[in-house]
Amino acid sequence: MKLGLCIEMALTKLPFEERIAKAAELGLGNVEFWFVDMTFQGKAERLAELARKHKVTITNTVIGSPDGSIGGGLTDPAHREEWFKRAKMTIDFTREAQIPATIVCTGNEVPGMSDDAMYASVVEGLKPTVELAEEAGVTLMLEPLNIHCDHPGYWLTSSDRGAEICRRLDSPRMRLLFDCYHMQIMEGNLLQHIERNLDVIGHFHMAGVPGRHELFEGEVNYPYLVKKVTDMGYHGVFGLEYAPSKDDEVSIKETMKHLGF
């Protein structure tokens, strides 16, 4: 099992660069963060150097915010120019930092637009974005989210629909990010959804449900789920994207122990 940590939600009392060092010290070989021009303020080469120094892989960045307020989103074609500008900037940085992937959020529903029109807008916006990713050697990871607790109004709420879009675009550089926290809230039946969509899943996120805190507090049996998904043939990273409810280091160590890591 490969385990990673989102350093935007844990170890946040430390400066960004120290979070990478601390994750490595705790035995985590993978970390991830969000926007390339916010929490981290520096050049891509510096980030690649930090990863090499601490012997960790930075698994992914994020292009734009879920609601489209950063990057314009994909649901509204009126913001296409804004989307491409940010997508190219993020993909270029991600490539230069030697990071293999970046997350795609669709943006929120657009008032007055039909669902079919928003679907078409997302697909049409992704086609040239995938071309950029293919040229850069960076993988896009499309993420469905929940609208009940964290992202009201978000358009893509189904892992099945996300997988359908990935298959329609038919590129090894277009994958699905399956966030177990979000999909437990929206769909349940996690293993069934994972099994039928594993062919396009490129990454997992995990957090306790409800609350988005520790994995060992909540309704999802993560040790069981991780074992079953691994048995299905998944060999990628399971990312811990959760907010510790206690001391971060204690929480992370307890979480790793809970998962048998």
The predicted-structure confidence for 15-71, as pLDDT tens digits, reads as follows: 999 999 999 999 999 999 999 999 999 999 999 999 999 999 999 999 999 999 999
| Annotation: CATH topology of 2-258 | TIM Barrel (3.20.20)
Structure tokens at 221: 């049996």
Which residues in 155-250 belong to E strands, given as ranges?
174-179, 201-206, 237-240
Question: Which of 8, 32, 109, 143 does the annotation list as catalytic?
Answer: 143
CB < 8 Å & 24+ apart, contacts of 184-192: 184/209, 184/219, 184/220, 185/146, 185/148, 185/149, 185/209, 185/210, 186/144, 186/146, 186/147, 186/148, 186/157, 186/158, 187/158, 187/159, 187/160, 190/220, 190/225, 191/225, 191/228, 191/229
pLDDT for 63 = 98
pLDDT for 192 = 98
Render pLDDT for 170-199 as a digit per residue (tens, 0 to 9).
999 999 999 999 999 999 999 999 999 999
pLDDT band at 227 (very low <50, low <70, confident <90, very high): very high
Render pLDDT for 75-132 as a digit per residue (tens, 0 to 9).
999 999 999 999 999 999 999 999 999 999 999 999 999 999 999 999 999 999 999 9
Whether residue 143 lies in the annotated active site: yes
Question: Which of 32, 109, 214, 241 does the annotation list as catalytic?
Answer: 241
Q: Where are the domains of the chain?
A: 2-258
Give just the sign of the alpha carbon dihedral 183, 188, 189, 190.
positive
Inter-CA distances, 17 with 33, 55, 106, 129, Å: 11, 13, 29, 29
